[in-house]
Structure 1
Amino acid sequence: MKPDLREALGQRILTGDGAMGTYLYQMGFPVGVSYEEFNTIRPGVIEGIHRSYYEAGARVIETNTFSANAEKLSKYGLEGEMDAINRAGVRAARSAVGADAYVVGAVGSIRDGKRRNLRTAKVIEAYKSQMHALLDEGVDGLLLETFYDLDEMLLALRIARAESDLPVICQFAVEDVGRTQDGNGLKEAFDRLQEEGADVVGFNCRSGPNGILRAIDSIAGPVGLPLSVYPNAGIPDYVDGKYAYSAGPEYFAESARRFADRGARLIGGCCGTTPEHVAAMAKALDGYVPQLGQTAKITHQGEIISVQVTRQAKPAQESPLPQRQAVREPSIVELVQQRHTVIVELDPPRDLDIRKFMDGAAALKAAKADAVTMADNSLAVTRMSNIALAALLQEKVGIRPLVHIACRDRNLIGTQSHMMGLDALDIDHVLAVTGDPARFGDLPDSSSVYDLTSFEMIRMIKQLNDGTAFSGKPLKQKAKFVVGAAFNPNVKHLDKAVQRLERKIKSGADYIMTQPVYDPALIERVAEATKHLSVPMFIGIMPLASGRNAEYLHNEVPGIQLSDEVRRRMAGLEGEAGRAEGVQIAKELLDAAMPHFNGIYLITPFMFYDMGVQLTNYVWQKARRIAAE
């Protein structure tokens, strides 16, 4: 009878298996399907792969269940097959290998480091159901792999510990950065996992052998548990219409010994690895004694044997991140706490001529507007880059730019790159918005990205302020973003909208900007419903340009509703007459808003910036009257 997996890891180095998904891809099976479903519809294929890895020398075999939770399976309409797929995955692995092999149930991250807006209760239920099926079918342990965030790993580990006392392996997907993606140091993360009952900790995926070696070397201090490592076969390349990995078996054999020297007791492969990689590692590790002064000291804790790695790590960076000079003038958040503050929106142009835009910004500067804000391709209509215009406003006009950042147009890479560019330009006021879907804009065939929700974007921008990149990598200095959130009060259930707003504030929003409001009574209700909030609100006022403009906004633009009274007053008005009435209505709305809100957000229609100038001047006149009362 083979020993418990924990005991086996205390006695020798075990070789794990290699990739499943990328190996199926290399075999010619198409992407876009659930490879986990193969457990039930192609069990012979899965068994054959497990057998190949076993014959190559792997003695720890993962079940083909990485994405076999209800949430991931629902993308293929397979959530009802979750239990059967996981049980079949255990049976396929068990039937393909000998009695000397350990079969561990693979459980992958559900949130994938994207901080997706999934209710925690739903995540818990998905993990519980999957783990129950794997454990009930008789695995030798659980492997929690490709987790990006410590919080989700702890959540899954606690469920595993509540369900079973079998060995649990916890593997993060990290770069060579010394941190998890949510900013926790690796030593601290591993210590937390040990406290919560993990038996093995380590890394898989995302990096090749070199990246994971660097991650191990970045750990400041001893790790009190055995290490496991499952690197990718390098970075994939796209050759002749297929993805291919470059790291070969010989390189993996050499890397396996280097991992052993650093205290790894379980060494396998992830994306791009094959039975040939595993065979090379198993041969290299057969009878191998760790060298280079990395001692693997076995300690007894009750009946459990664990490995204490007493490697000398690089010293931790003790000096704080450098802080740049403070902002030369108060932020809009500081201003609005002292007095009425005006932000005016100007739409970036849809062509290459910026003269009118710059003239408008200069006129608003002369009217003493506090900031000019620019949307990010609003209504999914292509416009000039607001980051370029923001830099020009700051340099040539001398007015503060406030830049909208839409989730629609950039993935995580592009979003962080965009934010880093803004920081380099010393543009520090931003508004995080979801963004209208691309299919409704002028290029309907373009893609909507939505890697992030607005909640997640706010959190991750504030993470830059803490000196941590989206990946978890520490930055050499901290950003200083003042981050706003959008709020639409033109809804049936205002209380629910306020609850959503509270979540944005909890995510880190520093201030709020509302959609335009056209009803004084609604302004009163918004003031009452939001008076408890801890951040200032800028109430949106957009003067109407004509009767047709009013009807278009009311009937076709999401998030905007006009009162019957406003629509009646604007009906049939065009040109100067329409704009004059629009300004008068906006002044009446300002009369209703200014006693309740110091923050005023004026939205300019059709680049009629003179309307914004008139209303900015009106705010200052009324502010003086309010102060004198």
Structure 2
Amino acid sequence: MLDLTGYVTDGGLETDLIFHHGVDLPEFAAFPLLDDPDGRALLRAYYDGYARVAAEAGAGLLLESPTWRANTDWGALVGYDQAALDRVNTAAVQFLREIANEWRDRVPHVLVVGMVGPRGDGYLASDAEPSEAAAYHLPQVRSLADGGADLITAYTLTGIGEAAGVALAAREVGLPVGIGFTVETDGRLPDGTPLADAIAAVDAVCPPTHYAVNCAHPTHIEPGLADAPTQLQRIAVVRANASQLSHAELDEADELDDGDPVALAAAVTRLRDRLPGLRVIGGCCGTDVRHIAAMWGLSA
């Protein structure tokens, strides 16, 4: 079992870059920044901010690669063929490894995570079969492993089959894996599956090391925690949205809703009380270093 006791991870990378730094991210893809010196400098400053939170909190640090969109379908839309994707996924992990090495004397423990995202839209239900999803995600997972990732985490998954497929791909390359689901305002997956049932179904195919919930406000996650404690104690990571808007409302929003960092931190604390296995706390859409610092009892 991978030890994930007390780790800081980052916030909403893409929304932070777009709304706070004026960066154009076609298709919401951050990974092309790795191919530009200014983009690398911006990413470095971004990750350093969260490393400082971890150092001040005395917590571990998860450095998660900016590769949520770096798969075949999304990559093609921003001009990356498979060879270019293999290169940039590997380079993303190596980039984070350099940052990790520079923070090791100030942070108790650092892990470098290869991040995988959904093949389709992170807000729409996926009906992929496990074998199909495993074959699709395997090239990215292998490239992240080649870069030296300590583990793989898939975020914003919306279906059981795709989640199981990512777990199968990670098993093939021999890396631990976290499976991250997103939920709607009722605490269920976009297709209506209860969170605990989704965990049980993936475990029946290929149990990951742990589970995550991301891209939902804590008040949307809470309704999904009403029962099935055996399954829910498998949730080790929460990366919450700042906004209480639904996914449909967020899709239509022209301005960033970054909520209230203190109120968000209080809501995350309530989740801690419901999730005995929770070890990693960070953010998703609308969050930045202010929100994560507040979650760890600090000021940014």
Flag whether TM exceeds 0.5 (same fold). yes
Matched, 1:220 2:228: yes
Report if aligned partners of 1:18, 1:270 keep a CA contact under 8 Å in 2.
yes
Residue type of the partner of 1:62?
A: E
Give distance in 1, aligned partners of 2:229 and 2:143. 37
Identity in percent? 25
Deviation of residue 214 (structure 1)?
Answer: 2.5
Structure 2 residue aligned with 1:175 = 184
Structure 2 residue aligned with 1:159 = 169
Give distance in 2, aligned partners of 1:249 and 1:28. 21
Structure 2 residue aligned with 1:67 = 69
Deviation of residue 222 (structure 1)?
Answer: 2.6
Gaps of 5+ in 2: 55-59
Residue type of the partner of 1:29?
A: V
Structure 2 residue aligned with 1:44 = 41
Indicate which of 78, 88, 92 corresponds to 1:89.
92
Report if aligned partners of 1:104, 1:143 keep a CA contact under 8 Å in 2.
yes
SS in structure 2 at match of 1:169: strand
Give distance in 1, aligned partners of 2:237 and 2:11. 13
Give distance in 1, aligned partners of 2:126 and 2:183. 18
Deviation of residue 77 (structure 1)?
Answer: 1.8
In 2 relative to 1, CA 94–219 (structure 1 residues): closer, same or farther, beyond 3 Å? Answer: farther
Report if aligned partners of 1:105, 1:139 keep a CA contact under 8 Å in 2.
yes
Give distance in 2, aligned partners of 1:118 and 1:38. 30
Deviation of residue 248 (structure 1)?
Answer: 2.2
Give distance in 1, aligned partners of 2:91 and 2:186. 37
In 2 relative to 1, CA 116–170 (structure 1 residues): closer, same or farther, beyond 3 Å? Answer: closer
Indicate which of 120, 125, 144 corresponds to 1:134.
144
Structure 2 residue aligned with 1:274 = 288
Residue type of the partner of 2:208?
A: A
Structure 1 residue aligned with 2:57 = none
Deviation of residue 178 (structure 1)?
Answer: 4.4
Matched, 1:190 2:183: no
SS in structure 1 at match of 2:93: helix
CA displacement, residues 311-347 of structure 1 (integer Å, 9 cap, x when unaligned): xxxxxxxxxxxxxxxxxxxxxxxxxxxxxxxxxxxxx
Report if aligned partners of 2:130, 2:164 keep a CA contact under 8 Å in 1.
no
Task: Give the number of equivalent residue pairs.
Answer: 272
Structure 1 residue aligned with 2:16 = 23
In 2 relative to 1, CA 208–93 (structure 1 residues): closer, same or farther, beyond 3 Å? Answer: same
Give distance in 1, aligned partners of 2:126 and 2:235. 31
In 2 relative to 1, CA 246–21 (structure 1 residues): closer, same or farther, beyond 3 Å? Answer: closer
In 2 relative to 1, CA 152–117 (structure 1 residues): closer, same or farther, beyond 3 Å? Answer: closer
Give distance in 2, aligned partners of 1:60 and 1:29. 24
Report if aligned partners of 2:64, 2:115 keep a CA contact under 8 Å in 1.
yes
Report if aligned partners of 1:150, 1:180 keep a CA contact under 8 Å in 2.
no
1:182-261 to 2 correspondence within 5 Å? 182-195=191-204, 196-205=206-215, 207-216=216-225, 218-223=226-231, 224-235=233-244, 243-261=255-273
Give distance in 2, aligned partners of 1:126 and 1:193. 17
Indicate which of 57, 75, 78 corresponds to 1:76.
78
Give distance in 2, aligned partners of 1:235 and 1:186. 19
Give distance in 2, aligned partners of 1:148 and 1:120. 13
Structure with higher Rg: it is 1
SS in structure 2 at match of 1:59: strand
Deviation of residue 227 (structure 1)?
Answer: 2.9
Gaps of 5+ in 1: 285-629
Give distance in 2, aligned partners of 1:242 and 1:252. 21
Indicate which of 29, 40, 54 corresponds to 2:51.
54
Residue type of the partner of 1:146?
A: T
Deviation of residue 117 (structure 1)?
Answer: 9.4
Give distance in 1, aligned partners of 2:187 and 2:125. 20
SS in structure 1 at match of 2:283: coil
Deviation of residue 233 (structure 1)?
Answer: 0.6
1:103-502 to 2 correspondence within 5 Å? 103-112=112-121, 114=124, 123-164=133-174, 166-195=175-204, 196-205=206-215, 207-216=216-225, 218-223=226-231, 224-235=233-244, 243-263=255-275, 264-283=278-297
SS in structure 2 at match of 1:201: strand
Deviation of residue 17 (structure 1)?
Answer: 1.4
Give distance in 2, aligned partners of 1:115 and 1:257. 29
